[in-house]
Copies of this chain bind each other. A is one copy, B any other.
Amino acid sequence: VKAVTRPRNPRGQGERLRQDLLRAAVDLIAETGSLDNVSLRAVAKRAGVSPTAVYQHFADRDALVEAAVVTCWEDFSAMLAEVVAGEPDPYLRLRKGGDAYVRFALEHPGQYSVMVEQTDDIPGATPAALSAFNDLVTMVADILRARGDDRDPVFVAVQIHTWTHGIVTLAACAPEIPWPGMDELMDSVAEALDLVPPR
C-alpha cells in the first residue's frame, strides 16, 4: 500500500528484486490471509517498483503467488527445524514442535490459513506439506517405539495433526466460543492420545 522509494539495483544484483517481491507478497498474505488480494500490482507497489518489473522474475501472476506460498512453507519448516534441532528426547521433540506449530499459527494466521487451504491449488506446496507431515510421523514413531506402543504411527500422526489444526484454526476465527486456555487444550490432545512421558 505504501509506495517505497527504491534505488535501482546495481548491475549484477537484479536477483535482489526477486527477494523483495517475495517478501512483499508474503506480507500481503500475512495481512489479508488470502491469495485473492495478492495482486501483481499490489506486490509491485509494495516493493516500490512498477507492475511490469515483476515479469523479469516471474512468468505471470500465478508464478509469483505460487513462489510466495512456497516461501511461507520454507519459513515455517526452517522455524520448526530450528526449534527441534539438538533435542534428543522424543517427548520433548514432539512437545517443542507442537508448541512451535501452535505459536506459528497464532502469530501468523494469514500465512497459516493460506498454507493449509491452498495446498492442493499450489503444486509447489505439496512436497513441503508432505515433508512436514513426515517429520511428525517420525517424531510419533520415536515416542511409540520408546514406550513399546504398537499403534500405527501414521494414524496417530493424523490424529495429532487434525486435532491440533482444528484447535488453532477455530481459535483464530471463532471468537464467539468460550475458549479454555490454549495450553490446556493442547495438553488434552497429548493426554487423550496417551503420549505423555511415563513418570
* A interface with B by C-beta (< 8 Å): 34, 36, 113, 116-117, 119-120, 126, 129-130, 133, 154-155, 158-159, 161-167, 169-171, 173-180, 184-185, 188-189, 192-193
Q: How many copies does the complex hold?
A: 2
Bound: A116/B180 CA distance, A:
19
Chain B residues with Cβ under 8 A from A178's Cβ? 154, 158
Q: How far is the CB of A26 from chain B (nearest CB, A)?
A: 20
Task: State whether B36 touches A176 (Cβ < 8 A).
Answer: no
Bound Cα distance from A179 to B169, whole angstroms: 20
Task: Given A113-B117, A117-B173, A170-B162, decide whether A155 and B180 contact each other with a Cβ distance below 8 A.
Answer: yes
Given known A-B contacts A192-B192, A193-B192, A162 and B176 have beta carbons under 8 A apart: no
User: How far does the alpha carbon of A154 sit from the alpha carbon of B133 in the complex, in Å?
Assistant: 31
From known contacts A158-B180, A162-B163, A188-B159, infer whether A174 and B119 are also in contact, taking CB-CB under 8 Å.
yes
What separation, in Å, do the CA atoms of A116 and B177 have in the docked complex?
A: 12
